[in-house]
Amino acid sequence: MVYRPPCAALGALLLTGHLVSAQYYKIDSTDAIKTSAKQLAYDLMTYYHGNESGGTPGILPGPPPAGDYYWWEGGAMWGAMVDYWHLTGDTTYNDVVSQALLFQVGPNKDYMPPNVTASLGNDDQGFWGMSAMQAAEENFPNPPSDQPQWLALAQAVFNTQADPSRHDTTCGGGLRWQIPFANNGYDYKNSIANGCFFNLGARLARYTSNQTYADWAEKTWDWVQSVGFMDSNYNIYDGAHVETNCTDINRAQFSYNNGVYLLGAAYMYNYTNGDSKWEERVSGLLDATLKVFFPNDIAFEVACEEHMTCTTDMLSFKGYLHRWMSTMTQIAPFTASKVLPILQKSAQAAVNQCTGGSDGRTCGFGWASGSFDGSVGAGQTMDALGAVSSLLIGQSDAPVTNSTGGTSVGDPNAGAGSDSFTGALTPITTGDRAGAGILTVLILGSAVGTFGWMSLGP
């Protein structure tokens, strides 16, 4: 169940729609896409200083007030860079990416480094875990044998989040946003934390052929629907507080939620050999995603973009959506004919507005306007890189498994019993453990513009 369009189909895709060449970045041929992606990758890496003298490997400058970026976004960026290598073949940054992913694993090799405890969410940990999972699926060069391995790291994140200590009976189950009970946001359960756990479970199920992971994934999806975080029309909402039994649902919608569930559902479709239930779920969620987040076939962050009330975190969401939807077309091939032309049009809009800065190639955030909006940063550049590099999906190998060429060494017991944050707490019983690598949003105040959602630190 792998979709890889032939070269002719890719050429037709790239040339569809009377493309308008961007001033600097061009995506009208495979070579042009690779050249543009290479420049975007370079520009993205200028925001990273962790490999410089005095820097901390793995993280972008932060967290606030020391810099704009929370811990999770570094993990997200390395996933984008693994994808960049996989899709273009450019090995320039591989050593830096490996160093970054390995430096932040923490003493128990489960992506819970002590120095981020004060803002450590299930979503933050999960994003690093998903990047490690991606490295395994794309056969990113394996670490030395005396270092943690990609698959084992993904399993460690999953296992820490599947441990009963991360789950309680409030709201009928589900993961909380934060891991340590003293963190602001521990009283909040959300879609992204549970979505990343669902995503990891589905991918581990396909990679290892272990049904236990699939059972966790299905249980998580069912809980998210039962609590109302995903409605009958496949709209996905942010989350709710445990004090209300999750009835005060924050109905803000963010594209990374849809992306993480779409990709996970596609993996479940693939793992179950095209089960009609998962085909229906993929189709329904895809239609909802295109309706909400792709007006006029251009990615748009509906909760904040119109009035530019987006936080630093939200400014990176479009890139994940593009990347995950493109991968979806390989493992759920029936989506390709609908999705690929839209991603191509959206990517063209992205590069058309990359005209800022003294070099005339700096990317902003608002793609739909067609002009540079002055909003710059790692997230905005990562969005454009994700959109452009994903156009090469038809020429890339599909994600592998341990029976189709995967070489990463796993450990099904990785991370077991390593969670040191909840040991002194009152037990919080059963559920499924979700790791979501992006910060979920808490409502802190009144509306600003259309939405006034503010995102707290991980």
pLDDT of residue 419: 59
The architecture CATH gives domain 7-400+430-455: Alpha/alpha barrel (1.50)
List the chain pLDDT tens, one digit each, 458 residues: 444 444 444 444 444 433 344 479 999 999 999 999 999 999 999 999 999 999 999 999 999 999 999 999 999 999 999 999 999 999 999 999 999 999 999 999 999 999 999 999 999 999 999 999 999 999 999 999 999 999 999 999 999 999 999 999 999 999 999 999 999 999 999 999 999 999 999 999 999 999 999 999 999 999 999 999 999 999 999 999 999 999 999 999 999 999 999 999 999 999 999 999 999 999 999 999 999 999 999 999 999 999 999 999 999 999 999 999 999 999 999 999 999 999 999 999 999 999 999 999 999 999 999 999 999 999 999 999 999 999 999 999 999 999 999 999 999 999 987 655 543 333 322 222 222 333 333 323 323 333 333 333 43
Element (H, E) at 441: strand 441-442
pLDDT at 416: 83
Cα-based torsion angle of the residue sequence 349, 321, 267, 416 in order, rounded to the nearest 10 degrees: 150
Which residues are within 8 A (CB) of 134 and not within 5 positions of it... i.e. 6 or more apart?
A: 79, 82, 83, 140, 399
pLDDT for residue 458? 39
Spatial separation of the C-alpha atoms in residues 93 and 81, rounded to whole Å: 8
Q: What is the model's pTM?
A: 0.89
Q: Where are the domains of the chain?
A: 7-400+430-455
Inter-residue contact 440 to 177 (CB < 8 Å) = yes
* Cβ-Cβ contacts under 8 Å for 265 (sequence gap 6 or more): 202, 221, 278, 281, 282, 285, 332
DSSP letter string, 405-422: T------TTTTTT---SS
Residue 230 is encoded by which pair of tokens?
Answer: 């995903």
Containing 57, the helix (H) or strand (E) segment is none
Closest C-alpha to 386, from 9, 33, 6, 23:
33
